[in-house]
Amino acid sequence: MTDPNKILLDENEMPTQWYNIVPDLPAPPPPPLHPGTHEPATAEDFSALFPQALIAQEMSQDRYIDIPGEVLDVYRLWRPSPLFRAHRLEKLLDTPAKIYYKYEGVSPAGSHKPNTAVPQVWYNAQEGITKLTTETGAGQWGSSLAFACAQFGLESEIWQVAASYRAKPYRRTMMEIWGGKVHPSPSEVTEFGRSLLEQDKDHPGSLGIAISEAVSQAVEDPKTRYALGSVLNHVLMHQTIIGEEALRQLAKVGAVPDVLVGCTGGGSNFGGLAFPFLREKLKGNMDPVIRCVEPTACPTLTKGQYRYDFGDTAGLTPLMKMHTLGASFIPEAIHAGGLRYHGMAPLVSHIYDLGLVEAIAIPQTECFAGALQFAKAEGIVPAPEPTHAIAAAVREALACKETGEEKVILTALCGHGHLDLAAYDKYLSGDMVDLDLSDEVIGAAMQGIPDIGQ
Amino acid sequence: MTDPNKILLDENEMPTQWYNIVPDLPAPPPPPLHPGTHEPATAEDFSALFPQALIAQEMSQDRYIDIPGEVLDVYRLWRPSPLFRAHRLEKLLDTPAKIYYKYEGVSPAGSHKPNTAVPQVWYNAQEGITKLTTETGAGQWGSSLAFACAQFGLESEIWQVAASYRAKPYRRTMMEIWGGKVHPSPSEVTEFGRSLLEQDKDHPGSLGIAISEAVSQAVEDPKTRYALGSVLNHVLMHQTIIGEEALRQLAKVGAVPDVLVGCTGGGSNFGGLAFPFLREKLKGNMDPVIRCVEPTACPTLTKGQYRYDFGDTAGLTPLMKMHTLGASFIPEAIHAGGLRYHGMAPLVSHIYDLGLVEAIAIPQTECFAGALQFAKAEGIVPAPEPTHAIAAAVREALACKETGEEKVILTALCGHGHLDLAAYDKYLSGDMVDLDLSDEVIGAAMQGIPDIGQ
């Protein structure tokens, strides 16, 4: 019996708990530090930014946390998301490998980001917060937060990296459809933004800068908090619903992954898919190779340093131990805007440091070549970010063609590319280039990482 | 027990036959006529345009036609499509009505159009055809045909209405991702196109003109045929998989529609949803009101004449009896590009003439107001075309709020609006206007309808 194209779960089969990998790790992750004292940060240190419930999740040692009913109600607008067997891509590649992909593009915003936006907004609403600020790069996170705020009646104010704001006006429209207020970053709204615009009125911005602006606005108003779309433990935990569903879906067809590949920007898509499978691996139930895929233009894991650094450019956040290129690193304007972050989630950094996962970097032209094969075979036009995961899956499938191995490859197609077609236009017209990022360029921003005697 | 948000079918529950409503109608639809002799057109008259199998379907008296296995294989990339219960929209509207919507935006091209593109390409491929030409307005049909051609290895050449080509460059990119070759219409490629560009080098084009160009290129090469995305009997028949699935899905939750509303451009989305329900109505199994919804800027059913006219502007097609505003009618550039066609499918026109369905016209600002409510409640951002269906559903739901009736409303959300966000931008900025189309303007093009003594 052949697998169906889509392995579906009914709404009543949807997981009702998120998975927190921390208590299952062989060593605890290094704690975040207070930026002044360099002592482990306390819940109090985060309280101007996040509601108590999310801070508790950030520091939790509980293995499972119940998903609130009202969050499940919103998840059901699009979840459980389908797991696809890529029959037609396998045929195109002429590979004996079996390729499965978990598709998160079915969400309203078109990516995995609403999985955490919805609970973040809900927990804030429970504590009387009426407005959330955030940053966004490609716009996936900003639109997800705007969507979630619309569901629970909160305001959203979003700083979008100026280069993306100008290049992708329709993501702004999408945020506005859901009631979001959007600024290009750097903006005239914040002191930090104004200082950067004085240096360069056409400043392209970066995620680190936009975070600084959003954070600085959140701490000024007691009814306003900040929401982060990746990196933090609680964000990755919310995304584990992806992997929990995928486990159930693969079980339905009796498949066990030999290789799991996921693209990594801040780490939440990767963690969301991988952590439940890593749990099963640590328990000895399966033994997949688990591999992070990052762009060569922002090679956080493969070329960054593992040390304490700020999450933002202005240095407002607690210090986090992570693989980083330096908080002042501004990556080239590659098309995978969501992978242009200077650091990697502390949890993903930690499990990489522990040797539990691998990492590779792939140049964007190879990614788009893979995406084009994928689109012709499977129909779906991928977002630029998961083209990295697809390219890695294609590499693996072609290796199987050589060896004849019938490996089971699992990946996440974390979003569609309907709002990223300019990138495809550039690729199709032959104008897309791979950026040759020298070690000097990569090392420059790392000079600015604070030395805390680590 | 409350309905789930998504009423799903497994792939093995997918219908395996299309439904042809013709033999079930109380009177046969008037036949197409040869444009020269005005005699009923024969299969031979269509043979330069379409493969024999599709001509046979166009004229078929068979109630059901088997869907070929290879077509089912491609359908399974996204079908069965979900039927949603719009719980959150009902709550927002505070209505006792139950609103269900069948969502076709899950297809690769983002609309219902691949339902017919895939079989059209397959049947052509069986008869040795290697290339298809077509027209497209908003780009939904062109991208669907390009996708389908990529699945079966055919070339596609597409004439896109120039106004849309310029306003929506990313639809062109999408067609090119799937290997399509795209021209703005009017184009320099055809004699008819050149003649129009001589009159106006910035000619905005129309669907009728683009059809003329695509047809003229198809008839010149024996290995090339033409594909039409709506209007014809076989196209509407392919779309009945929508309604057949919806019937099965509503049955799963024990719901029977009291009102069915669908937007009508060429008629294929409407026919696809409505015909299986009309069959059940004619059999006495249910008694829904069935209502066509069209834009006030292109009011084919509500203000057009029911008479023989050409399907295209240059007068290359057979004459079809349909509700028409005149083949030379060029509608205002409303955002629902897919509803800007001068005529209505002969089958939809016929059942409207028989009094089996109703029709209303709704102005676009009301449509976008409804779409915004829908997007905030349900998450999905609708394409401009189905905003008409949504606005009609909202009207009906609000009427139920007044009367307290718990009507079951069924509609089709035939596509997402990810490539139409400029229209939302215009609405949100307050720049969208409703066009006051005078009877004089509407009547002008009707003067040019051929008089064949009807």
Q: Would you call A110 and B418 a contact, using CB atoms and an 8 Å cutoff? A: yes
Q: How far is B365 from chain A (nearest CA, A)?
A: 14
Q: What is the DSSP string of B402-440?
A: HH----EEEEEE-BB-TT-HHHHHHHHTT--------HH
Residue A331 has pLDDT above 90, yes or no: no
Return the pLDDT at A306.
96
**What stretches of B179-223 adopt beta strand conformation (E)?**
181-185
User: Is there a contact between B418 and A422 if contact means CB atoms under 8 Å apart?
Assistant: no
Distance separating alpha carbons of residues A71 and A268, to the nearest angstrom: 18
Cα–Cα–Cα angle for B75, A262, A350, rounded to 5 degrees: 160
A305 pLDDT above the threshold of 90 = yes
Of A12, A78, A178, nearest to B375 by CB-CB distance is A178
Mean pLDDT to the nearest integer, B209-232: 94
Q: Which helix (H) or strand (E) holds A210?
A: helix A207-218
> CA B199 to CA B272: how far, in whole Å?
39
Among A79, A143, A172, A421, most B C-beta atoms within 10 A, so best to mutate, is A421
Contact A418 B419 (CB under 8 A): yes
Subunit contact A379:B107, Cβ cutoff 8 A: yes
CA A19 to chain centre: 17
Are A421 and B174 in contact (CB < 8 Å)? yes
Q: A181 — contact with chain B (CB < 8 Å)?
A: no
Q: Lowest-confidence range among A421-430, B174-183, B313-322, B364-373? A: B313-322
Amino acid A140: pLDDT: 93
pLDDT at B440: 87
Reported as a single tens digit per residue, the pLDDT across B352-392 is 999 999 999 999 999 999 999 999 999 999 999 999 999 99
Put simply, the answer to whether A6 touches B418 (Cβ < 8 Å) is: no
Question: Which of A295-309, B397-411, B433-447 bottoms out in mean pLDDT, i.e. has the lowest?
Answer: B433-447
Predicted confidence (pLDDT) per residue in B86-144, tens digit: 999 999 999 999 999 999 999 999 999 999 999 999 999 999 999 999 999 889 999 99
In this complex, how many residue pairs, one in chain A and one in chain B, have their CB atoms less than 8 Å apart? Answer: 111
Phi, psi at residue A314, to the nearest 5°?
Answer: -80, -10
Secondary element (H or E) of residue A185 = strand A181-185
A443 has pLDDT over 90 = no
A78 Cβ under 8 Å from any chain B Cβ: yes
Can you read off the two tokens belonging to residue A55? 């801070």
Pick the residue of A8, A111, A177, A428 with the most B CBs within 10 A to test the interface with B by mutation.
A177
Task: For chain A, say whether B169 makes contact (Cβ under 8 Å).
Answer: yes
| Whole-angstrom distance, CA of residue A289 vs CA of residue A395 | 14
What is residue B112's predicted lDDT score, i.e. its pLDDT? 98
For chain A, percent of residues with pLDDT exceeding 90:
86
The pLDDT assigned to A453 comes to: 65
CB contact under 8 Å between A10 and B10, yes or no, is no
Range A241-263 burial, b when 16+ CB lie within 10 A, else e = bbbbbbbbbbeebebebbbbbbb
pLDDT tens digits, one per residue of A341-351: 889 999 999 99
Structure token digits, residue B199: 């009159």
Quick check: A169 pLDDT over 80? yes
What are the chain B neighbours of A173 within 8 Å (beta carbons)? 421-422, 424-425, 428
Burial A368-389 (b: 16+ CB within 10 A, else e): bbbbbbbbbbbbbbbbbbbbbb
Report d(CA A190, CA A311) in Å as an integer: 18
Helix segments in A253-334, DSSP class H: 268-282, 300-303
> Most A CBs within 10 Å: which of B89, B101, B173, as the mutation test of the A interface?
B173
- Say if residue A189's pLDDT is above 70: yes
Estimate the crossing angle of helix B140-152 against helix B114-126, to 10 degrees. 40
Q: Which amino acid is at A450?
A: P
Give residue B187's pLDDT: 97
pLDDT at A297 over 80: yes
For the segment A105-115, the average pLDDT, to the nearest whole number, is: 97
In this predicted structure, the answer to whether residue A334 has a pLDDT above a threshold of 80 is no
| CA dihedral angle for residue B252, residue B254, residue B260, residue B265, rounded to 10 degrees | 0
Determine the 3-state secondary structure of B361 from DSSP.
Answer: strand
For residue B430, pLDDT beyond 90? yes
Can you spell out the DSSP letters for A40-53? BPPHHHHTTTS-HH
Question: In this structure, are residues A391 and A369 in contact, taking their beta carbons and an 8 Å threshold?
Answer: yes
Interface of A with B in 403-432 (CB under 8 A): 416, 418-419, 421-422, 424-425, 428
Instruction: Report pLDDT for A376.
Output: 96
Distance from CA of B413 to the nearest CA of A (A): 14
d(CA B309, CA B325): 9
- CA B386 from centre of chain: 10
DSSP helix/strand/coil, B375: helix
Tell me: pLDDT of B453 over 70: no
Q: Give the model's pLDDT for residue A441.
A: 85
pLDDT in tens, B15-74: 999 999 999 999 999 999 998 899 999 999 999 999 999 999 999 999 999 999 999 999
Phi, psi for B34 (deg, rounded to 5): -65, 135
Tell me whether B448 touches chain A (CB under 8 Å).
no
Is A76–B5 a contact, with Cβ atoms under 8 angstroms apart?
yes
The Cα B198–Cα A403 span in angstroms is 61
Cβ–Cβ below 8 Å for A372 and B77? no
Confidence of residue A338 (pLDDT cuts 50, 70, 90): confident
Does the global pTM surpass 0.90?
A: yes
Write the residue in A5, A176, A372 that is nearest to B11 by C-beta: A5
Nearest-neighbour CA in chain A from B385: distance (Å) = 17
- DSSP assignment letter at B23: G
Residues from chain A contacting residue B143 (CB–CB below 8 Å): none
Complete domains list, chain A, with CATH: 6-14+66-110+234-446 (3.40.50.1100), 27-56+114-229 (3.40.50.1100)
Residue A422's identity, in one-letter code, is A
Helix extents (H) in B3-75:
43-46, 52-58, 69-75
d(CA B245, CA B42): 33
Residue A328, helix vs strand vs coil = coil
Note every long-range contact of B167-172, with CB atoms under 8 Å and residues 24 or more positions apart, other chains counting.
B167/B422, B168/B138, B168/B139, B168/B337, B168/B419, B168/B420, B168/B422, B169/A425, B170/A418, B170/A421, B170/A422, B170/A425, B170/B419, B171/B136, B171/B138, B171/B139, B171/B140, B171/B142, B171/B143, B171/B419, B172/B139
**Average pLDDT, rounded, for chain A:** 95
User: Which residues does chain A have within 8 Å of residue B169's beta carbon, measured at their own beta carbons?
Assistant: 425
Name the residue facing B174 among A10, A106, A381 (closest C-beta): A381
Q: Does A242 score more than 70 pLDDT?
A: yes
Q: Which of B203, B208, B224, B134 is nearest to B175 (CA)?
A: B134
Q: In Å, what is the CA distance from B287 to each residue of A103, A110, B31, B277, B280?
A: 39, 37, 28, 9, 8
Residue among B55, B53, B59, B68 nearest B18 (CA) = B68
pLDDT in tens, B413-424: 999 999 999 999
Closest residue of A to B378, CA-based?
A: A77
Chain B interface, best mutation among A12, A77, A88, by max B CB count within 10 A: A77
Interface check for B47 against chain A (CB to CB < 8 A): the answer is no
On whether any CB of chain B is under 8 Å from the CB of A91, the answer is: no
pLDDT digits (tens, 9 = 90+) for A32-44: 999 889 999 999 9
Is the Cβ of A57 closer than 8 Å to some Cβ of chain B? no
CA distance B131 to B218: 9
**Tokens linked to B60:** 């078929």
What single string gives the DSSP state of each residue in B221-262? -TTEEE--SSSSHHHHHHHHHHHHHHHHHHHHTT---SEEEE
Q: What is the pLDDT of residue B283?
A: 97
Of the candidates B172, B186, B167, B162, the residue with the CA atom closest to the CA atom of residue B140: B172
Please tell me which residue of chain A has the smallest CA distance to B419.
Answer: A418
CA distance B115 to B104: 9
Among candidates A146, A80, A156, which has minimal Cα distance to A114?
A: A146
Q: Which residue in chain A is spatially nearest to B76 when comparing CA positions?
A: A5
Per-residue pLDDT tens over the stretch A8-67: 999 999 999 999 999 999 999 999 999 889 999 999 999 999 999 999 999 999 999 999
Say whether pLDDT at B1 is over 70.
Answer: no
Does the pLDDT at position B334 exceed 80?
Answer: no
- pLDDT higher than 70, residue A215: yes
Contact A330, A397 (CB under 8 A): no
Closest residue in chain B to residue A424, using alpha carbons only: B173
Q: How close does chain A come to B162, measured CA to CA in Å?
A: 19
Which residues of chain B are within 8 Å of residue A6 when distances are taken between CB atoms?
11, 76
Residue A328 pLDDT level (bands cut at 50, 70, 90): confident
Burial of B111 (0-12, 13-18, 19+ CB in 10 A): buried
Share of residues in chain B with pLDDT > 90 (%): 86
ipTM of the complex: 0.95
Across residues A254-270, what is the average pLDDT? 97
Does A77 sit within 8 Å of B173, measured CB to CB? no
**Contact status of B153 with chain A (Cβ, < 8 Å):** no
Return the amino acid letter for B395. Answer: R
